C-alpha cells in the first residue's frame, strides 16, 4: 500500500473488490486486477482503475513520488492497462494513466521494494538484470526511468528499501547475507549516491534464519521489522540511530513482523506475534496481529489490540500498513491475508479511525470479598481490559443500588490484569452485603456488571490473617476463595491464577476456628501462579500450611521465571527458579536457592503424615533458615540469591535433578493453605507466633 493526498493505493494478488459485509461475488463486487485505489477517509474505491497483468501477475511494491504526482509500482507483471511494463511502472496520479515517457525499465525478475526521492527511484527484489545491465537485486533509475550507475550488490533478495529524509543513505533489508561483498545479514546501509557500504551488520547481529521485511524512519532513527523461522530467531522490531546506524533497542517478541509504520511517536506493527513474554508482555499462545509501542524503549506494548485472523494463503494475517498524513482525523489502513477483523467478516483490507473507540471494557472476573476487621469488607477482583484504553474506572455497587458505593482507578493491559480492591468501611458488623463491579473507559463506555459476591461483615478481627498482614506480607493467597482465582489479601494486590485445575476451597482449612478453606492439588499438573512478574527480592520469607500423605514429593511453593501459555497448552515451567520448598519422596522438606548451584537445607523429620504442618523459609544477611511448625529445623549461612524476574508459584514448578533428592513429581499432591510471601526476613519469634495463632 501507499498513501498520498487522502488516497490509498493497494496492490497485491486479487481480481475483485467488494463492499464490506458482502460475500464474495455479491452485490457491489467489481473487477480489480491486482490494483485498486480508495478514498482513505470514506473507504470507497476511486475512479482510478489500473490492471496489472501477465503470467502469475502480482503487485508487490507501491511508492508515491515526493511531489505526489507519480505512483511507482513494482512486482511481477508485464503490462499495465495493456501498456508494456516489465516489473516496474510509473503512473501519472492526476490522470491515473501509465506514464509513457518513463523509460521501460525491463527488470528481469520480481521487484519487491521501491523508494522514491526527488531525483531517483531506488528499488530492490530478486532481479540480476535491469535494462540488460547487471544489477544484483538493487538498482536505481531517474524519475523518467533512465538507469543510474548506483549498483550495490546483494547476494539474496531485497524485501525492503528506505531512504531517510535529509540523509545520504539508503537502508536495505531482505534475505541477503552480504552487501557489496561484505558480511551483512538481512540489513545494510549504503551511500545514496555511490552505493558503497556505510554500515554492515555481521551475520551474528541478525540470525541467519531471519529476514528484514519492513523499514521506516523519523528524523533521528530508523526502525525495522523482522521475520524468522526456527529457533533463536529475531522476529520483532528494532530501532537504530541515523547518525551512526547503531542499534538503540531491539524487542524480542516472536511472531514474524511483516510491516512497521510510524505515526505520532508510536510504532505500529503488523505481525502474528504469539510470545512477547521475554519483554514483559504476553506469553506464548494464540497469535495477535496488530500492535503499537512507544519509540523510546522496546516495551511494553500499548493497549491497542485490533484482532484479525490468519486468513488465506500462508496464514500470515496483516502484511502492510499505511496511514493518512493530514494530521487530523487520520486513518490507518491495513492490508493482508486476513478474512476477519474484530470478529466480523472483512477480507484483505481494513481501516482504523482516530477514535475514541465505541466498544466498552469487558466484564470484571474473579470477584471475591472478605471481612478483615469489624465494620470493614474488602472487595477484590481481577482488572479487565478495553480495546484501546489501559486506564479504567471501576464502580462498586452494594446491595443492588444503582449508585456506586465508590470508585477505583486502575491500569491494565489485555495480557496483564492485576488485582484491584476497595474496602467498604461503612458496613455494619454481623450484616450480610452483596457487591457487584462495573468498569468504564475514559470515553464513558461502560462494561457489563460483574456477577454478585456476598459477605457477612466481621464482628471481630481474625488473628492469624491480621498477623500476616501486620508483619509485611506482599502477597497473601489464603486459597479459600471458590472463585477460580487466589485473591490477594495483602496490600500488594497480587492475585494468583490457577493452572491445571487445582480444586480451590475444596478442603477444610488449616487454621483452628477459621471457616476459610484450603485448596487441593492433584500432584499431576496443577498449581497457582502469579501472572504479574517482578524482580526477585534479595531478602525474603515465604510460608504456607500443607497436608499430605504423598510418596512422590513435589514443590510446595517457589519463585520462578516461568509463566503458563495463554492458551493453556503448556505450564510454562521456569528455566530459572529457587526460593522454594519441596518435599522429597520420603516426606522430608528441602529449602533451596540457586546461586550458581543448588544451595539447600533439609529437615530431619518427615511430614507426609496427613496432618497440617506450617512451613516457613527465610533468607537474608544471616543465611537460609527452614522452620516447620514454628521451630527452626535447618539453616546455613548462604546469603547469595538468584536475581531473576518472576513470580511465586504454589503447588508445582520445575524441579530438575540438579536439586538434591529431586522427587518423582514436581507437583505437590495434597492440600495447601494460607500462602504468604514477604520482602523481609521473619524473625523466629514471628514464625513461632504465626504457628501458634494458626493452631488457635
- Convert the pLDDT of each residue in 470-505 to its tens digit: 999 999 999 998 888 999 999 999 999 999 999 999
pLDDT value for 168: 97
What is the pTM for the complete model shown? Answer: 0.91
Share above pLDDT 90 across residues of the chain, in percent, rounded to a whole number = 92
pLDDT tens, position by position, 428-446: 999 999 999 999 999 999 9
Type and span of the H or E element at 249: strand 247-250
What pLDDT is attached to residue 606? 98
Is the model's pLDDT at 299 over the cut of 90?
no
Tell me the average pLDDT across 85-114.
Answer: 94
Work out the average pLDDT over 391-405.
98
Mean of the per-residue pLDDT values of the chain: 96
What nine digits make up the cell of 645? 524476574
Q: What is the pLDDT of residue 540?
A: 98
- Given a cut of 90, is residue 328 above it in pLDDT? no
Write down the pLDDT at residue 578.
Answer: 95
In the chain, residues under CATH classification 2.60.120.200 are 463-694
Quote the pLDDT of residue 305. Answer: 87
Residue 313's CB: how many other CB atoms inside 10 A?
10
List, for residues 345-361, the tens digit of each pLDDT value: 999 999 999 888 888 99
Task: Tell me how far apart the alpha carbons of residues 210 and 233 are, in angstroms, rounded to a whole number.
Answer: 6
Residue 48: pLDDT band with limits 50, 70, 90: very high
Q: What are the DSSP calls for 154-201, one per residue? A: BSS-EEEEE--TT-SEEEEEES-SEETTEE--SEEEEETTT--EEEE-
- pLDDT, tens digit, 9 for 90 and up, residues 669-680: 999 999 999 999
Q: Grid coordinates standing for 267? A: 510504532
DSSP for 453-470 reads: EEEEPPSS--HHHHHHHH
Q: Which of 107-121, 318-332, 642-656 has the lowest mean pLDDT?
A: 318-332
Q: What is the mean pLDDT of residues 360-378?
A: 95
Question: In terms of C-beta density within 10 A (0-12 exposed, 13-18 middle, 19 or more buried), how is residue 71 classed?
Answer: buried
pLDDT band at 278 (very low <50, low <70, confident <90, very high): confident
Dig out the grid coordinates for 635 from the structure: 539453616
Report how far residue 153's alpha carbon sits from residue 97's, in angstroms, rounded to the nearest whole number: 33
Mean pLDDT over residues 456-465, rounded? 95
| pLDDT for residue 568 | 87
Query: 479 near 518, Cβ under 8 Å?
Result: yes
The answer on pLDDT for 404 being more than 90 is yes
pLDDT at 105 over 80: no
Residue 482: the pLDDT is: 86
Segment holding 690, helix H or strand E = helix 684-694
Mean per-residue pLDDT for 210-226? 98
Residue-level pLDDT at 504: 95
Is the domain defined by 463-694 classed in CATH 3.30.70.1070? no
What is 100-352's CATH number?
2.130.10.10
At residue 115, the pLDDT reads 98
pLDDT value of position 358: 83
Q: Can you give the pLDDT at residue 481? A: 87
Q: Does residue 354 or residue 379 have the better pLDDT?
A: 379
In angstroms and rounded to an integer, the radius of gyration of the C-alpha atoms of the chain is: 31
What separation, in Å, do the N-terminal and C-terminal C-alpha atoms of the chain show? Answer: 71
> How far is it, in rounded angstroms, from Cα 255 to Cα 252?
10
Is the per-residue pLDDT at 372 higher than 80? yes
Residues spanned by CATH 2.130.10.10 within the chain?
100-352
Mean pLDDT of 66-86: 97
Segment 567-587 shows an average pLDDT of 95
Mean pLDDT score, 516-536: 95
- Please answer whether residues 579 and 641 qualify as being in contact, where contact means their C-beta atoms are separated by less than 8 angstroms: yes
Given this model, what pLDDT does residue 279 score? 84
The answer to whether 556 and 588 are in contact (CB under 8 A) is: no
The residue among 616, 682, 674, 648 whose CA lies nearest residue 472 is 682
Q: Is 90 exceeded by the pLDDT of residue 526?
A: yes
Per-residue pLDDT at 515 = 86
Across 583-603, average pLDDT? 97
Give pLDDT tens digits for 542-568.
Answer: 999 999 999 999 999 999 999 998 888
The residue-averaged pLDDT of 624-630 equals: 98
pLDDT of 25 reads: 92
Residue 327 pLDDT greater than 80, yes or no: no
pLDDT score, position 357: 81
Percentage of residues in the chain having pLDDT higher than 70: 100
Question: What integer pLDDT is reported at residue 231 of this predicted model?
Answer: 85
Q: What is the CATH number of domain 365-456?
A: 2.60.40.10
Which regions of the chain carry the CATH code 2.60.40.10? 365-456
State how far the alpha carbon of 317 is from the alpha carbons of 259, 290, 310, 579, 605, in Å. 11, 9, 4, 42, 58
Which residues does 271 contact at the CB level (< 8 Å), separation at least 6? Answer: 225, 235, 236, 253, 255, 256, 257, 258, 288, 289, 290, 291, 317, 318
Amino acid at each position: 500500500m501507499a498513501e498520498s493526498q487522502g488516497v490509498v493505493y493497494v496492490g497485491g494478488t486479487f481480481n475483485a473488490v467488494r463492499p464490506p459485509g458482502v460475500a464474495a461475488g455479491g452485490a457491489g463486487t467489481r473487477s480489480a486486477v491486482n490494483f485498486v485505489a480508495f478514498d482513505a477517509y470514506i473507504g470507497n474505491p476511486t475512479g482510478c482503475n489500473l490492471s496489472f497483468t501477465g503470467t502469475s501477475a502480482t503487485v508487490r511494491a507501491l511508492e508515491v513520488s515526493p511531489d505526489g504526482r507519480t505512483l511507482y509500482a513494482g512486482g511481477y507483471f508485464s503490462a499495465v492497462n495493456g501498456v508494456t511494463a516489465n516489473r516496474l511502472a510509473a503512473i501519472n496520479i492526476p490522470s491515473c494513466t501509465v506514464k509513457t515517457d518513463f523509460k521501460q525499465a525491463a527488470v528481469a525478475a520480481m521487484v519487491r521494494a521501491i523508494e522514491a526521492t526527488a531525483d531517483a527511484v531506488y528499488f530492490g527484489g530478486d532481479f540480476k538484470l535491469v535494462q540488460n545491465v547487471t544489477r544484483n537485486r538493487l538498482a536505481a533509475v531517474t524519475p523518467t526511468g533512465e538507469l543510474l550507475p548506483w549498483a550495490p550488490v546483494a547476494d539474496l533478495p531485497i524485501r525492503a528499501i528506505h531512504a531517510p529524509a535529509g540523509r545520504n543513505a539508503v537502508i536495505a533489508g531482505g534475505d541477503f547475507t552480504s552487501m557489496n561483498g561484505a558480511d551483512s545479514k538481512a540489513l545494510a546501509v549504503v551511500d545514496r549516491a555511490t552505493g558503497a557500504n556505510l554500515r554492515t551488520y555481521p551475520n551474528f547481529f541478525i540470525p541467519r534464519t531471519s529476514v528484514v521485511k519492513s523499514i521506516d524512519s523519523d528524523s533521528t532513527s530508523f526502525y525495522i521489522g523482522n521475520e524468522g523461522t526456527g529457533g533463536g530467531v529475531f522476529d520483532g522490531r528494532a530501532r537504530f540511530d541515523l547518525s551512526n546506524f547503531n542499534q538503540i533497542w531491539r524487542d524480542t517478541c516472536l511472531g514474524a513482523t511483516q510491516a512497521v509504520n510510524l505515526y505520532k511517536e508510536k510504532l505500529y506493527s503488523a505481525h502474528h506475534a504469539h510470545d512477547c513474554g521475554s519483554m514483559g508482555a504476553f506469553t506464548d499462545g494464540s497469535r495477535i496481529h496488530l500492535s503499537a509501542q512507544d519509540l523510546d524503549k522496546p516495551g511494553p506494548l500499548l493497549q491497542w489490540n485490533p484482532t484479525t485472523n490468519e486468513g488465506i494463503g500462508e496464514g500470515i494475517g496483516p502484511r502492510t500498513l499505511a496511514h493518512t498524513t493530514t494530521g487530523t482525523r487520520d486513518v490507518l489502513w491495513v492490508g493482508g491475508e486476513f478474512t476477519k477483523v474484530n470478529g466480523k467478516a472483512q477480507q484483505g483490507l481494513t481501516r482504523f479511525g482516530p477514535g475514541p473507540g465505541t466498544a466498552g471494557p469487558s466484564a470484571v472476573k474473579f470477584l471475591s470479598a472478605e471481612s478483615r476487621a469489624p465494620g470493614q469488607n474488602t472487595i477484590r477482583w481481577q482488572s479487565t481490559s478495553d480495546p484501546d484504553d489501559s486506564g479504567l474506572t471501576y464502580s462498586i455497587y452494594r446491595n443492588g443500588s444503582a449508585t456506586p458505593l465508590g470508585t477505583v482507578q486502575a491500569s491494565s493491559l489485555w495480557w496483564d490484569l492485576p488485582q484491584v480492591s476497595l474496602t467498604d468501611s461503612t458496613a455494619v458488623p454481623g450484616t450480610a452485603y452483596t457487591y457487584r463491579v462495573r468498569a468504564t473507559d475514559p470515553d464513558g463506555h461502560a462494561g457489563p456488571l460483574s456477577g454478585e459476591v456476598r459477605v457477612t461483615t466481621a464482628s471481630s478481627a481474625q488473628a492469624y490473617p491480621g498477623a500476616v498482614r501486620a508483619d509485611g506480607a506482599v502477597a497473601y493467597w489464603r486459597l479459600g476463595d471458590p472463585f477460580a482465582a487466589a485473591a490477594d489479601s495483602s496490600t500488594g494486590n497480587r492475585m494468583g491464577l490457577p493452572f491445571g485445575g487445582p480444586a480451590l476451597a475444596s478442603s477444610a482449612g488449616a487454621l483452628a476456628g477459621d471457616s476459610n478453606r484450603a485448596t487441593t492439588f492433584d500432584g499431576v499438573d496443577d498449581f497457582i501462579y502469579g501472572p504479574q512478574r517482578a524482580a526477585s527480592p534479595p531478602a525474603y520469607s515465604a510460608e504456607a500450611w500443607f497436608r499430605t500423605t504423598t510418596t512422590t514429593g513435589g514443590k510446595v511453593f517457589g519463585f520462578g521465571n516461568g509463566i503458563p501459555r495463554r492458551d493453556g497448552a503448556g505450564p510454562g515451567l521456569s528455566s530459572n527458579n529457587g526460593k522454594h520448598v519441596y518435599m522429597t519422596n520420603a516426606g522430608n522438606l528441602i529449602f533451596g536457592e540457586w546461586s550458581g548451584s543448588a544451595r539447600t537445607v533439609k529437615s530431619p523429620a518427615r511430614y507426609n503424615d496427613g496432618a497440617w504442618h506450617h512451613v516457613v523459609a527465610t533468607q537474608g544477611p544471616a543465611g537460609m533458615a527452614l522452620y516447620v511448625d514454628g521451630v527452626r529445623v535447618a539453616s546455613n549461612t548462604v546469603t547469595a540469591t538468584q536475581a531473576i524476574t518472576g513470580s511465586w508459584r504454589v503447588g508445582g514448578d520445575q524441579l530438575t535433578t540438579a536439586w538434591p533428592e529431586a522427587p518423582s513429581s514436581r507437583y505437590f499432591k495434597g492440600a495447601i493453605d494460607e500462602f504468604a510471601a514477604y520482602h523481609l526476613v521473619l524473625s523466629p519469634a514471628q514464625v513461632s507466633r504465626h504457628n501458634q495463632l494458626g493452631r488457635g
